[in-house]
Structure 1
Amino acid sequence: MKSIATDGWELVSAEDRNTAHPNTFHIPTREQRETLVPGDGAKLLFDIEIRANGVIKDRGVERMWVIVKARSEGVYIGLLDNDPVTAENLQLQKGDVITFGPEHVSAISTPPRDYVIEKYGVSFFEE
């Protein structure tokens, strides 16, 4: 599991945010979040801590897209499809493998298959 202390980031539960702010933070239904397939896009909430020279400069949540590659034992495995901020302590970059659960999904999209193949290759859809 990724953590702020070791990786400079961790995932935030979209379900918890929705529960705390049901009128302003909307998420897809649980059923929609549990039935993602390879090639689907899932917007996740990344809590990121930015350090410079060992000092915390900023901390906040960045919403970024992950393209689902597979599902295994109730969790999704996908590739980060955004460029995160850069910081000396941040172990996160575009193309990184991200493991997440339905509770982390704040939005869903279906990017064109050609887009996914162009960025990640035809093998993306092979098991």
Structure 2
Amino acid sequence: MTWMLDSVYDRNKEAPYTFYLPNHQMLELLQAGEFVKLIFLFDEENEQFIGERMWVEIVERKGDNFKGLLRNIPSYITELSYGQEIQFTYEHICDTKREDPEASKWNYYMDTQIVMTRDALEKRSFNLMLKDEPNEENHLGWIFFSGSEPEGYTGHIENYQVVSLGAALNMDDSFLAFVDDEPFSAYERDSKTGKLNKVIDYDWG
């Protein structure tokens, strides 16, 4: 076999705010005749394609175990074919056609934006946060810095990148406690405790 089903739980652990995980109570309502989306991975190293997301129609369910029929034509995994029987569990379901009551939470994480320096993105770490007046819809006004940008680095716009709020939360979600602070708020990470502390007298000049 050259393919395997991916674990959405493992994916979500790696990126808890950007890899969507269907509401479990909603999954418990699934029954025969409904469609779910699964991630089919290559079971061998492949430099071009990691896998494919495809719809499967549920034909049988016994508790947490499902049997379904593939309802997409695979583009790359030649050992899979339309109508093929697939056995899976909750762990493999990355989407459904049901309306998810928690969808708005995921939309907020993905659609809301902040700015990070490319240095912070590369290091996957931020130690200084400044909140300015947001100038675009869905933008919070936050700018995140690694705190170790080279001299003159922050003066060039090409050294910044707009990212989703969820991408920053994947790195450190402790700032959710004050994400809605008013503009001209500043926080700096304590190098000893790792905690983000508010800077009362930050020099905005």
Indicate which of 79, 82, 100 corresponds to 1:91.
79
SS of the residue 1:84 aligns to: coil
Q: Cα deviations across residues 4-60 of structure 1 (Å, max 9, x unaligned)?
A: xxx110000112111211111112112222331111111001002579xxxx66441
On the 8 A contact 2:4/2:43 being kept in 1, the answer is no
Give unmatched runs, 5+ long, in structure 1.
1-6, 111-127
Question: Which residue of 15, 20, 34 corresponds with 1:21?
Answer: 15
The aligned residue for residue 42 of structure 1 is 36
Note if contact 1:50-1:58 (Cα within 8 Å) is conserved in structure 2.
no
RMSD over aligned Cα atoms: 2.2
Structure 1 residues 62, 86: closer, same or farther in 2, change over 3 A?
closer
Q: Is the 8 A contact 1:39 1:67 kept in 2?
A: yes
Q: TM-score normalised to the size of structure 1? A: 0.67
1:109 to 97, 105, 115: 97
What amino acid does structure 2 have at the position aligned with 1:95?
Answer: G
The one-letter amino acid paired with 2:42 is I
- More RCO (CA 8 Å, sep 6+): 1
Counterpart of 1:62? 52
The residue that corresponds to 1:124 in the other structure is none
**What TM-score, normalized by structure 2, do the two folds share?**
0.43
Contact 2:6 2:39 in 1 (8 A): yes
Q: Percent identity?
A: 34
> Cα offset for 1:64?
0.5
Is this contact kept in 1: 2:32–2:58, CA < 8 A? yes
What is the rounded CA distance, in whole Å, between the counterparts of 1:61 and 1:86 in structure 2? 8
Deviation at 1:95? 0.3
More strand by share: 1
Task: Provide the rounded CA distance (Å) in 2 between the counterparts of 1:34 and 1:13.
Answer: 17
Aligned to 2:25: 31
Where structure 2 has 5 or more consecutive residues not aligned to the other structure, the ranges are 99-205
